[in-house]
């Protein structure tokens, strides 16, 4: 699993607690990255994770050639940021990959980005979740 724009790491930590083989956290803010490490330690997690402390564009370049079954993207709200995050995530996906994109409800999620196709959209309050699957 990839937890990008990870913040506190809550999504990735939850995935680990539910049996994810491993989680890669991407968080550029040094304080937030340190908080992820603290939260992992507090939960007793000592392996099966990596924390990459750079912006998502650099992390995606570093991860080129890697593929993830599940990606959770929570970029800063804004249509341009959402589109950029999907564009950077698309090369890390393959058949069977699901991408979950959190976004502002006011910004419609793109129907497609490369091989990523929007399959479901949910809203709650001011936030939305867009679910994408990789399709040829």
pLDDT tens digits, 40-93: 999 999 999 999 999 999 999 999 999 999 999 999 999 999 999 999 999 999
CATH code of the domain covering residue 41: 3.40.50.150
pTM: 0.96
Mean per-residue pLDDT, 118-134? 97
Backbone angles phi, psi at 10, to 5 degrees: -55, -40
Residue 84's domain comprises: 6-134
Domain for residue 1, yes or no? no
Q: How many CB atoms lie within 10 A of CB 65?
A: 7
Backbone angles phi, psi at 65, to 5 degrees: 95, -20
Considering its fold, how many domains does the chain have in total?
1
Domain for residue 40, yes or no? yes
Q: How many CB atoms lie within 10 A of CB 80?
A: 10
Mean per-residue pLDDT, 30-45? 98
Domain for residue 31, yes or no? yes
d(CA 85, CA 101): 9
């Amino acid at each position: 699993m990839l937890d990008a724009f990870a913040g506190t790491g809550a999504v990735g930590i939850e995935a680990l607690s539910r049996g994810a083989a491993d989680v890669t956290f991407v968080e550029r803010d040094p304080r937030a990255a340190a908080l992820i490490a603290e939260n992992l330690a507090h939960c007793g997690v000592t392996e099966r994770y990596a924390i990459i402390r750079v912006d998502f564009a650099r992390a995606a370049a570093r991860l080129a050639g890697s593929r993830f079954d599940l990606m959770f993207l929570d970029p800063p709200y804004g249509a341009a940021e959402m589109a950029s995050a999907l564009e950077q995530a698309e090369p890390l996906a393959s058949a069977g990959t699901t991408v979950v994109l959190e976004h502002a409800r006011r910004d419609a999620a793109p129907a497609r980005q490369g091989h990523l196709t929007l399959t479901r959209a949910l809203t709650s309050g001011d936030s939305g979740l867009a679910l994408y699957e990789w399709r040829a």
